[in-house]
Amino acid sequence: MPHLTLELSKNLKIADEADLLLKLNTALFESGQFAQSKDIKSRVYHATDSLIGLAFDDGEHFVVAHLAIMAGRSDEIKADLVGRVMSVLQSEIGKTYQNVQYAINLTELSNVYQKAIV
């Protein structure tokens, strides 16, 4: 835990997705909230179709990050984690794109969440 899932608008292409994920995982791990770096799982999905507003191909883009963590952390810690993700996304994607809408959604997993390593 945690799980980080990125959703990108159809028109937003990342040159090196693996590098972006590594930077995101590093930022989360450096928060000190996760015991091992391998606890952090991240992935990127591209929308097959997407639309912002009412016009296609108007130069607008979006990134929605879903961060799922175990319950019990303070609002301050949650805000720090969200801020770390936002900072990396804006820094890395902002090198190539303008007019990007960024959103970070943090959810807490239920107490009955299960994980197994086999």
Number of structural domains found in the chain: 1
- Residue 77 in any domain: the answer is yes
Q: Which residues are within 8 A (CB) of 27 and not within 5 positions of it... i.e. 6 or more apart?
A: 84, 85, 87, 88
- Residue 115 in any domain: the answer is no
Instruction: Read off the pTM.
Output: 0.92
Helix (H, G, I), strand (E, B) or coil at 76: helix
As a whole-number percent, the residues of the chain with pLDDT over 70 amount to 100
> Mean of the pLDDT values across residues 4-29?
97
- Residue 27 in any domain: the answer is yes
- Residue 8 in any domain: the answer is yes
Q: Which pLDDT belongs to residue 37?
A: 97
- Residue 118 in any domain: the answer is no
Q: Which helix (H) or strand (E) holds 65?
A: strand 61-70
- Residue 65 in any domain: the answer is yes
Q: Which residues are within 8 A (CB) of 5 and not within 5 positions of it... i.e. 6 or more apart?
A: 42, 43, 45, 65, 66, 68
Q: Tens digits of per-residue pLDDT, 48-104?
A: 999 888 887 788 999 999 999 999 999 999 999 999 999 999 999 999 999 999 999
Assign residue 68 the CATH number of its domain: 3.30.429.10
Domain residues for the domain of 15 are 3-109
pLDDT greater than 90 at residue 112:
no
- Residue 14 in any domain: the answer is yes
- Residue 96 in any domain: the answer is yes
